[in-house]
Structure 1
Amino acid sequence: MKIQLSRILLLNAAGFALFLCWYMPENHGMWFTLDTSIFHFFNPLLAGHRAFVWFLAITNNRAFDACSLLAMGALMLRFWLKSDPAGRRRIVIIGLVMLLTAIIVNQFAQALMPVKRASPTLFFSDALRVSDLLHIPTKDASKDSFPGDHGMMLLIFCAFMWRYFGRRTFLLALVIFVVFAFPRVMIGAHWLTDIVIGSLTSVLIGLPWILLTPMSDKMICFMDRYLPGKNKQKINK
């Protein structure tokens, strides 16, 4: 794959513009209004809707994160089952490259973004917390919620699906993203902008240099060459 420099720079510019339109206004301008409106819509529901409390507790439990991995794996499994041994090896390696990419992009984003803020449940002193209502482990708060790392991982998954499996698979991946990322916003563990600004900005700036250059393909070839297993040469033919 050739370096698509114009697309890379366009996506980078969009990422920087998105971040600055949130970061530059005093108190984040209209974005803070949107954030607080969404939080104050969902949080009072915890007081009178026991089923909603249980829903958020379950969908934000660490064990539920495994369900997101299963959903992503199931989407890739469709292609794995239809492939020959060489193709199956390649799909597994794509998954490993995707995981490594997610770790790299997340670490750079956490280190370089000049923002640290608490989640809504810690920012507002009168916020209701699911963990106080049910006394079970659940992700309902964060001392440093920006950018949303969970949403970032899911967005990277979406991008990889588009790059290697096509647009239709990308659309299905977006459904997975919404289902598993936005319960964090509903419970108050993240502001909406932790995802739509923080996660998306990180992906727009970092990921094009991997997926729109030969880098991801070279990483796949490198792992194919050095990881143990059969059908190594067949992948690159």
Structure 2
Amino acid sequence: MGLRNLPTILLLNAFGIGLFLSWFLPENHGFWFPIDSTIFHYFNQHLATSNSFLKLVAITNNRAFDTVSLLAMGGLFLYFFVKQDAAGKRWMIIMGIVMLLTAVLLNQSGRLLPVGRPSPTLTFTDINRVSELSGIPTKDASRDSFPGDHGLMLMIFAAFMLRYFTRKAFCIAVGYVIIFSLPRIMVGAHWFTDIYVGALSMACVGLSWWLLTPASDATINFINRSIPGKNRLQN
């Protein structure tokens, strides 16, 4: 599997590294900064002119709203889970655990990048802050926003859907990436490039070596054999 997928792995690595360097190397992030700035100011100006938009952004960036994204991912996972026999259900639970461990490790790896970047709301002056305008507790700032951890988690879920389930499930999960990462951009807690450069480059490089080689399968099967139960894999 690994050798067969090597060209794809190398292509994803080249894309991910190239994407990151296109942002990291140029002074003031080159052509990416005008894109980031335009997107932030577009949404930020509407916070003071549309009360309905302000409330939408405030609610979707409240910590409680994260439950919605978890339920959406859980619902897609459950769709496949209920179709499995006992052995399949056991395998899916273990796969889910491995997916969570992958998310933790990849997210922590992102903290090793030589980047310290405050969110747009802490970079620009004379801007609108959702927490101040709405009075609703919300995350509208971050002292270290790169790469976007929330977006990275969603991308990892999407990649696992493609690797272990169907392309349709992957497309739905990609929709989750867009829908559930957008509020962080609209509120100004993340730059556009925190997610679509930082998180995406991390996902392309890290997940290609994990999911397109025997590594993830071997880990799942090892845990499956190690945990007692009548439906475990036999050595």
TM-score range, shorter chain: over 0.9
Residue aligning to 1:215: 215
Residue aligning to 1:7: 8
| TM-superposed deviation, 1:230 | 3.9
Q: Distance in 2 between matches of 1:45 and 1:228?
A: 56
Q: Distance in 1 between matches of 2:147 and 2:24?
A: 12
Q: What letter corresponds to residue 62 of structure 1 in structure 2? A: R
| TM-superposed deviation, 1:23 | 1.3
Cα deviation per residue 1:99-124 (whole Å; 9 max; x = unaligned)? 1001111111211x111111001101
Q: Distance in 2 between matches of 1:173 and 1:230?
A: 32
| TM-superposed deviation, 1:135 | 2.4
The two structures have a TM-score, normalised by structure 2, of: 0.95
| TM-superposed deviation, 1:219 | 1.2
Residue aligning to 2:231: 231
Structure 1: runs of 5+ lacking an equivalent: none
Displaced runs of 4 or more, over 6 A: none
Q: How does 1:126-145 map to 2 (within 5 A)?
A: 126-145=126-145
Match of 2:233, SS state, is helix
Identity across matched positions, percent:
57
Residue aligning to 1:152: 152
Residue aligning to 1:176: 176
Residue aligning to 2:100: 99
Q: What letter corresponds to residue 181 of structure 2 in structure 1? A: A
Q: What letter corresponds to residue 126 of structure 2 in structure 1? A: D
Higher mean C-alpha deviation, range 99-108 or range 220-229: 220-229
Residue aligning to 1:35: 36
Residue aligning to 1:46: 47
Matched, 1:110 2:111: yes
| TM-superposed deviation, 1:91 | 1.3
- CA 1:152 to 1:225, structure 2 compared with 1: closer, same or farther past 3 Å? same
Q: Distance in 1 between matches of 2:233 and 2:155?
A: 31
Aligned residues: CA RMSD: 1.4
Match of 1:233, SS state, is coil
Cα deviation per residue 1:130-181 (whole Å; 9 max; x = unaligned)? 1111222211100000000000010011100000002111001111111111
Residue aligning to 1:90: 91
Q: What letter corresponds to residue 103 of structure 2 in structure 1? A: A
Cα deviation per residue 1:16-72 (whole Å; 9 max; x = unaligned)? 110111112211121100000001100011112111111111111111112111111
Cα deviation per residue 1:176-231 (whole Å; 9 max; x = unaligned)? 11111111001100000000100001111111111011110011112212234441
Q: What letter corresponds to residue 86 of structure 1 in structure 2? A: A
The two structures have a TM-score, normalised by structure 1, of: 0.95
Higher mean C-alpha deviation, range 38-47 or range 85-94: 85-94
Q: Distance in 2 between matches of 1:126 and 1:177?
A: 30
Residue aligning to 1:72: 73
Any conservation in 1 of the 2:221–2:233 contact (CA below 8 Å)? no
Q: Distance in 1 between matches of 2:32 and 2:38?
A: 10
- CA 1:97 to 1:37, structure 2 compared with 1: closer, same or farther past 3 Å? same
Structure 2: runs of 5+ lacking an equivalent: none
